Structures are given as C-alpha cells and as structure tokens.
Structure 1
Amino acid sequence: MTRPHAAFAVAAPGLAPLVADELRAIGLRPTAVEEAGVAFAAHDTGVWSANLRLRTASRVLVRLGQFRATDFRELERQARALAWETFVTADVTPRLRVTCRKSRLYHSDAVAGRVADAIAHRVGGRGGFASAAETEDEQDAGESSDAGDDALAPLIVVRFLHDECTVSVDSSGALLHRRGYRQAVGRAPLRETLAAAMLLAAGYDGSAPFVDPLCGSGTLPIEAALIARDLAPGRHRRFAFERWPNFDAARWAKLLADADTRAKPHAPSTIEGSDRDAGAIAAAAQNAVRAGVAADVRFTQRALSSLALSDEQPGWVVANPPYGKRVGESGALRDLWARLGDVLRVVAPGWRVALLGPDPALERQLRLPLSPALRTTNGGIPVRVLVGTVPADAAQDTRPA
C-alpha cells in the first residue's frame, strides 16, 4: 500500500481549530494545528474526502517535498527528485506561486522558472509556467460557480524560509468556499467558509429552529441547511485532484455515493431567512435551489422590526449585520445594531445568538450578553464571532443604548 500524503488544510485566521474538529469528524487525524491551517496525513481518498466535506477550510495542499537549497543548482537538483508525475501531466502548464523570505534565493520568478524546468524534466512537455499571485486566496470573488479550467490547472506552491524550501501541490482548485451554488449575491457577500464557521462556533446542529433576520443572498441559511442535512459542501463542484494522473473515477464516484447516502432527506427543524430587500430574497431563493436545499429554507421579505420567531423550542439566531466603513454611516449603523438588540430581547428570550461583529462600539448597542467565540477576518477587516443566549427577562431591559 502506498504511503499516505502529508497534507495541509489551509484555514483563514482563527478557523484552524474548527478545521481540526472537522477533520476528526470525517476520520482524519490532525498532526499539527497551526495559525495557517491543520496538518494531517491521508491517502488519496482522504485528501478527496477533505475537499468534499470540510466546511471551514480554504483549500487542501499535499506536501510534495521539503529540502534546503542556497543556490539554483541545488534547487533544481532537489526539485527534479520530487514525484511530479503523481500530480502533473505533460500536456498542462502548471501555475506556480512562490514566496521567498529570509533566504539566499530571493527572486521568486527565477525560483519558479527552475521549478518549472524540473517539472518538465520529470514529466516531459514544453516546460514553462503561469504565475499565481498569493493574493488570490484573499480575494473574495462574490460568485461561487464551478471551478473553471484555469482553477483546475495544477497549482504548485513553493515557499522559501531561511533557505528551507517547501513544495506543495494544491488538490482543491478553486477555493473551497466556492461551493457552486452562490451565483446571485448581495452587496456584501459572506464567504461560505466563514458562514459555516459562525454556525459551528454557535453549536448549530440543525436540531432546533434557525433564523437569519438579515440574510442578504442567503449564505447563512443555506449553510445551516447543509449542516442540518449533513450534505457535503463540495458535492456540486469540481476539484483539481480530478486531473491528477492517478485519479480513480470509480473510487471518487463511491465517495460521492457514500456522501449522498449519509445525507438526511430533509432538515430536522425549520430554517428561515429574511431581509427587507426584495432583490436579496430573490437571489437567496435562487441560490437555495442550486444548493439543493430549497425545500429546507423559507425566505421572507420583511423588515427587521417585523421579525417573528416560531413557537417551537428556542433555536439559533445567526446574522451578519452591516458594519460599513464609509463616512456618515456610523449613526445609521449604531441605530441598526441597537434595533437588532431591541428586537431580539423582545422576540428571542432563550434563543442562542451568533453575530459577526467588527467593532466593540457597535456590539455594545445590542445590550446582549455575547462573548467572542473566535476571531478572524472578513474582507480584510478583523471581526469576531459573538455568541451567547438572550436572557429570559431581556425584554424588561429598557436602558438606553
């Protein structure tokens, strides 16, 4: 039997512990939890499963090799010894992302050229490469369509630090937040991976009602439905590993069939999203259809002040309230956050709450006992996921914000 790959699930800041928990849940054992993600060992099917089922990871890398090099001759010699034929074919042009820090080899394009030559020497082909900027992982393209051919071309990640070179192959293709359903978006779309992180940090498991009163294009309710039904988030997209030379389509089909068998036929409890914007509600409904959860989520156009919760047992209220940074917005934003707190104190005693908050001054307007469950970034802005329970007597709190 072949040796397992040394793999690494890349995570946004603060999300690595959630990724580690997810890996354990799908039967993969983390070997190290770092700020940038989680290391683990897995054979091919384990790497495929991680891509298919992880909700909070950004991408999954396979470590191809690590070595020391202080000159280009040593770099090319070591790079030629790597098993490129496992991941790259002669008929494709790989994309290379190279970073060099505190190393004698500091010119990233020159390093990329030598690595590309080593790949061509090993697998054949014309050589050459396409550059892949490191900032790609930070860009939050609103659309979440299927990975195109460019995203599925092999991405090789080369990192030099203190003359130590680490070479990895991306197995994901498009970032994992691109589930394939979010083609209609609102003004400030929330990444699917961050939405899932909010839900998991709040302890959401689908067993009780869920409401998002500021749902925009529906990412939070749709991710809630995927969790509630145990639907694999990557079920309707493609991955870079599907182009690896050793890819086994029959084994992959079995993994997909197993995921479908494990899924519940419907959400155990109600899932609702509402927004005052009719366009956002229409987009949310379209996205739910593409995600396969249209029957599990009810979207309603209504103002925040008209929020009404079900008579079932207390559940979860999860939302991403606006926190724009433009001049002149501060007063309106404070009013909105204060109104959200007022509404929740009246209609949601005993309900669990999770909100994405960027600013303690705004968070104080809620007058709710929420505390940070995790810290991360959203669109480059530091944010906290605030979690707590609305007190049973919260409606009696009439103090001014």
Structure 2
Amino acid sequence: MGNYQLIATAAMGLEALVAKEVRSLGYECEVENGKVIYTGDEKAIARSNLWLRTADRVKIKVGEFKARTFDELFEKTKALPWEKFLPEDAEFPVIGKSVKSTLFSVSDCQAIVKKAVVERLKTHYKRSTWFEENGAFFRIEVALLKDIATITIDTSGQGLHKRGYRVDQGEAPLKETLAAALVLLTNWKADRPFIDPFCGSGTIPIEAAMIGQNIAPGFNREFASEHWNWIPSKVWEEARNEAEDLANYDQPIDITGSDIDHRMVKIAQENAVEAGFGDLIRFKQMQVSDISTTSEYGVIIGNPPYGERLGDKKAVERMYKEMGQAFSKLDTWSIYIITSNEEFEQFYGKPATKKRKLFNGFIRTDLYQYWGKRPPRQNERN
C-alpha cells in the first residue's frame, strides 16, 4: 500500500464541511481555498469517493512546482513518477486552468504536460513510438496559480454530486453536494421531522434521508479509480462492505417534500424510488402558505425561487411574506432558507438568527438560519 497526497475539492464556502467529513473518515487534513488536503493510501481513495457528501472530486497530487516557462513546465512534469500511476495503455486526457500566471495559454500548458508524460512513459516502458490509449481512464489536470503548477489525477471520474439516483430534474436543480451541505449545516437528527417546502426534483429530502440512515452517497455508482490496476479490487470490495455495514436502513425517518408544481412532485417521487426511499419520503403538491404541522422540534430547509427574473420579483416577494406568516406558528422548528435575495429578511418579517454565505453554482446566496426552541432534555434535573 502506498501513501498519496489527496485533494478533496470543494465549492467555495463548503471547505470546512468537507474537512469535517475527511476527519470523520480518520484522516488529518489542511484546508485551503476550494480544497482540503490530506494523506492516505489506496483504501483512503476508495473510502473518500464513497463517503464524501459535500466534496466535488477526490484527486491525487502528483507534483507541485514553480513554472514560468514552457521548458520548465515540460522538464518538471517529465521528472514526476508517472509510471507509478499510468499503465502502458492508459487513456489520459489533460485538462487545465491558469490564474494570475505567466503561462496563461491553457491549451499550450495541456499539450506540454501531455508531451512530458508521454516522454517519461516511453522511456519507462521502452517504447520508441506511443500507443493506443485504450486502457483505464486517468484524467490529468495542470492548474497554474501565481506561477505554481499543481498536477493532479482525478480518482472520481464523474463529479461526486452524480450519486446515480437522478432520473429527471427541473430547470435549475440544486447540486446534490450543496443539498447535503445544507442538511449538515442544520441541527437535524434522523429522529426529528424534516420538511422541504420547495422540493423541486427532491434533492434535499433524498440527501437528508441518506444522511439520516448513514448511507454512503457514492454507494450506487462507479468511480474512475475502480479500474486502475494498482488499486486491488479487494480494496473497493472492503470499502463497499464497510459502507453496507454502517448503513442503518432500519432508522425510521419522517421526511416530507412539497412543491407547487405537480410535475416536479412526480419527478421527485421517481428520484426517491431510484435512491431506494420510495416508501420513506412523502411528496405532495402544495404551496408554502399551506404548510402546517402538529409535530414539534423539526427542521425546514427551503431553496425557494430567488426572484432573479424581473417578472418574478413581485410574486417571489409576496411568497416570502406568506412563508414568514405560515412559519411564524412553528416556534419549536428550526428554519433554514437559501436565497440570493438580499431583502429576504424584510419580506419574511424576521431577522435571521445567523446568516452564512454560500454559492449555489455561480450565484452568491445566503443561508438564513432561524433557530427554534430546543427540545427539553430527557430527565432534566433542576
């Protein structure tokens, strides 16, 4: 078993959550902008891909160095131990990005890194010509930031938000990783009721159900690194068995999703069935002003329309107002609303207990948090 420097990439604002998840898997880590860095073996690669709910991808850092000229980029890339990762028939496209760096042409940087890796492997595998890339898939990335080149290999394949349960979606679906983050940022526990009044295609309720029953989010999908010859299939098998053992399928959950659009409710139901929660999550068509419950100490998470299109603005403001009135009766509930509308509190009719800046894709939003009364402690002593 080798040790690798791993990078779990994260959307802006979610780094601390990803770090918490990495630590709960048992790995010490450091947090930087957009990424969490830690060391782990082949098993760590498998477990990170299976378990990280809020990370975008898991990458292996092959090297990091200063590169101001194409020559420097070529020589330093060629000096890296590529044969340790890439078999003779590897398929390895190179992607890239460059920020505030002398080498600003991404396509040139990609071509140079590709050429350097080929040269290194030709020497190692004693080939005079290159060969068909018809084996396992290794996506290499060269990322330049202020003249420092970081070269990584992506272990995930498709982004980790692709859980494998989405049959269909609406116009602007919430990414699964952000939906999971919203649930993890609340005080919700599986024994409390949970409502999403703007459920769309069901992403937040499904992610909550997975968290409630401790189901590994990557359990039902494949990863690029499952096909790599230097990670024994036994490693993946053991990681999946661990995930199976830790899942608590018997945990009862009380999760409801509602939406004003009956088509979205139908899509949400289909996605929940695909995720294995067909009987466990209730979905219904309903407008937010009609939400009422006799349950106590629950959590509401909502991703309502933001009113960014001019024609929608007034309707959205009215809906925020109705939402505030409907929720004002739920004084034991904690309510979390994510929106880019900066006047949200004004229309809702109440200042938030706390606000947290998050990005929904490229839209800067705030998570408005309204904390309800705490449930009385069992056997509380006076």
| Paired position in structure 1 for 2:345 | 363
| Paired position in structure 1 for 2:114 | 116
- In the superposition, the TM-score normalised over structure 1's length comes to 0.85
State how far apart, in whole Å, the 2-side matches of 1:18 and 1:102 are: 28
Distance 1:283 1:215, change over 3 A: same
Cα offset, 1:127, TM superposition: 5.5
| Paired position in structure 1 for 2:273 | 289
State how far apart, in whole Å, the 1-side matches of 2:219 and 2:355 are: 28
Counterpart amino acid of 2:202?
G
Cα offset, 1:305, TM superposition: 2.6
Question: Bigger CA drift: 213-222 or 62-71?
Answer: 62-71
Distance 1:129 1:365, change over 3 A: farther
| Paired position in structure 2 for 1:156 | 140
Mapping for residues 5-20 of structure 1, pairs under 5 Å: 5-20=4-19
State how far apart, in whole Å, the 2-side matches of 1:377 and 1:127 are: 43
Cα offset, 1:129, TM superposition: 12
Cα offset, 1:72, TM superposition: 3.3
Structure 1, gaps ≥5 residues long = 131-148, 393-401
State how far apart, in whole Å, the 2-side matches of 1:34 and 1:22 are: 15
Counterpart amino acid of 2:250?
H
| Paired position in structure 1 for 2:377 | none
Percent of aligned pairs with the same amino acid? 34
Distance 1:330 1:72, change over 3 A: closer
| Paired position in structure 2 for 1:142 | none
Cα offset, 1:79, TM superposition: 1.6
**Contact 2:42–2:235 (CA under 8 A) maintained in structure 1:** no
Q: Number of aligned residue pairs: give it.
A: 369
Mapping for residues 327-366 of structure 1, pairs under 5 Å: 327-346=310-329, 348-366=330-348
Counterpart amino acid of 2:324?
G
**Contact 1:97–1:155 (CA under 8 A) maintained in structure 2:** yes
State how far apart, in whole Å, the 1-side matches of 2:367 and 2:130 are: 46
Name the SS of the counterpart of 1:160 in structure 2: strand
Q: 2:288 aligns with which of 297, 304, 312?
A: 304
| Paired position in structure 1 for 2:22 | 23
State how far apart, in whole Å, the 2-side matches of 1:295 and 1:153 are: 38
| Paired position in structure 2 for 1:185 | 169
**Contact 2:93–2:139 (CA under 8 A) maintained in structure 1:** yes
Cα offset, 1:104, TM superposition: 4.2
Structure 2, gaps ≥5 residues long = 375-382
State how far apart, in whole Å, the 1-side matches of 2:100 and 2:202 are: 44
Distance 1:162 1:280, change over 3 A: closer
State how far apart, in whole Å, the 1-side matches of 2:224 and 2:176 are: 19
State how far apart, in whole Å, the 1-side matches of 2:139 and 2:17 are: 25
**Does residue 318 of the first structure (1) align with residue 301 of the second (2)?**
yes
Distance 1:205 1:121, change over 3 A: farther
Counterpart amino acid of 1:58?
D
Cα offset, 1:302, TM superposition: 2.0
State how far apart, in whole Å, the 2-side matches of 1:26 and 1:268 are: 25
| Paired position in structure 2 for 1:174 | 158
**Contact 2:194–2:299 (CA under 8 A) maintained in structure 1:** yes
**Does residue 72 of the first structure (1) align with residue 70 of the second (2)?**
yes
Cα offset, 1:80, TM superposition: 2.0
Name the SS of the counterpart of 1:383 in structure 2: strand
Counterpart amino acid of 1:192?
E
> Residues 295-334 of structure 1, C-alpha deviation per residue, up to 9 Å, x if partnerless?
321111222232232x443210111011131122111010
Q: 2:43 aligns with which of 29, 36, 45?
A: 45
Mapping for residues 124-135 of structure 1, pairs under 5 Å: 124=122
State how far apart, in whole Å, the 2-side matches of 1:89 and 1:202 are: 45
Cα offset, 1:291, TM superposition: 1.1
Name the SS of the counterpart of 2:253 in structure 1: coil
Cα offset, 1:391, TM superposition: 6.7
Name the SS of the counterpart of 2:195 in structure 1: strand
State how far apart, in whole Å, the 1-side matches of 2:94 and 2:179 are: 30
State how far apart, in whole Å, the 2-side matches of 1:243 and 1:78 are: 28
**Contact 2:160–2:177 (CA under 8 A) maintained in structure 1:** yes
State how far apart, in whole Å, the 1-side matches of 2:367 and 2:179 are: 10
Counterpart amino acid of 1:250?
K
| Paired position in structure 1 for 2:79 | 81
Distance 1:317 1:105, change over 3 A: closer
**Does residue 214 of the first structure (1) align with residue 201 of the second (2)?**
no
Distance 1:101 1:281, change over 3 A: closer
Question: Bigger CA drift: 223-232 or 272-281?
Answer: 272-281
State how far apart, in whole Å, the 2-side matches of 1:5 and 1:29 are: 13
